Amino acid sequence: MAITEINCELTRRLERIAGLELRENEPLARHTSFGIGGPADLLAIPHEPRALCEAIGIAHEMETEPVFLGNGTNLIVRDGGVRGLVIRIAGEMGHVQMEGEQAIVEAGAPLAMLCCQCARKGLTGMEFAAGIPGTLGGALIMNAGANGGEISDVIEWVEVADRSGSISRMASEELSFGYRRSTLRELGHAIIRARLSFRSGDPAEIHEKLCDTLSQRCARQPVSSPSAGSIFKRPEGDYAGRLLETVGAKGMQVGRAAVSMKHANFVVNLGGATARDVMGLIEAAQNLVYEEFGMMLEPEVCVVGED
């Protein structure tokens, strides 16, 4: 069956799912923090876990591998877009249920909202995430962290849907969390929700720490410019930003993409940048560091789609 025929049949079946918003030829630039990326043939936005699992199950039956998207904050979508199905798990599946010192949090919940709710409840453990713009699901996949903390520090279990849409629960110790990695990324499962465990603290102190962390992030990073966050992982024993600054990468530009003058490990969209611009700039920066230090920086951002 031709791709267009498969998409037509997939669309017909997905349209029957209650609680699933479906868009055809949706520009993914609208759904990434970079503001770049071509269209998805189909973009499905589940409003509840049941709709998510049904959509995954139908895709599996039709031998279609969906691409999962959160807030698109650690992502580069190539200019040709994504053929087939993209499933966006963001604010529509972002319910947070606080239970004493614990919380059941859906994958689409923004980390910023979770930080604020914990502060109001006098719960400590999420302060490291102040200013991180992604969702819980994205944070779990890459074990997001900053300021000496990681999301894995507060996870008890994660509920996932496998490629057939079947739900299972994985304990924290099964997830093999490491630096910017977890088993979840390798398995390719869709994250539904997780249980997080915190500690009681003083609300005023927690709020102050959140504000301090956020202020430091704003001072050091180009938070007001479209970007995908840190471009490269931290190399062992050093920092990507330091290496890039040493080789003069700050201010480098390809097309309308530029290395930030505020932080050399950030690439920003100056307005009208393409994914090709960004990828060309990433390669040029890698080559500069390799020529000077003999070290090839490893990208932290995920790249999906076609040229």
Which of 180, 193, 195, 234 is the catalytic position?
A: 180
Q: What angle do CA 59, 64, 65 make, to 5 degrees?
A: 100
- No. of H helices and E strands in the chain? 8, 19
Can you read off the two tokens belonging to residue 304?
């999906």
Q: Is 168 a catalytic residue?
A: no
What does the alpha-carbon distance between residue 219 and residue 238 come to, in Å, rounded to a whole number? 21
* Catalytic residue selected from 182, 230, 234, 260: 230
Known catalytic membership, residue 230? yes
With beta carbons less than 8 A apart as the criterion, state whether 194 and 107 touch: yes
Q: Which of 188, 206, 30 is nearest to 125 (CA)?
A: 206
Rounded CA gap, 161 and 263, in Å?
37
For this structure, is 225 an active site residue?
Answer: no
- 86 φ, ψ to 5°? -115, 130
End-to-end CA distance of the chain: 24
Catalytic positions are 180, 230, 300
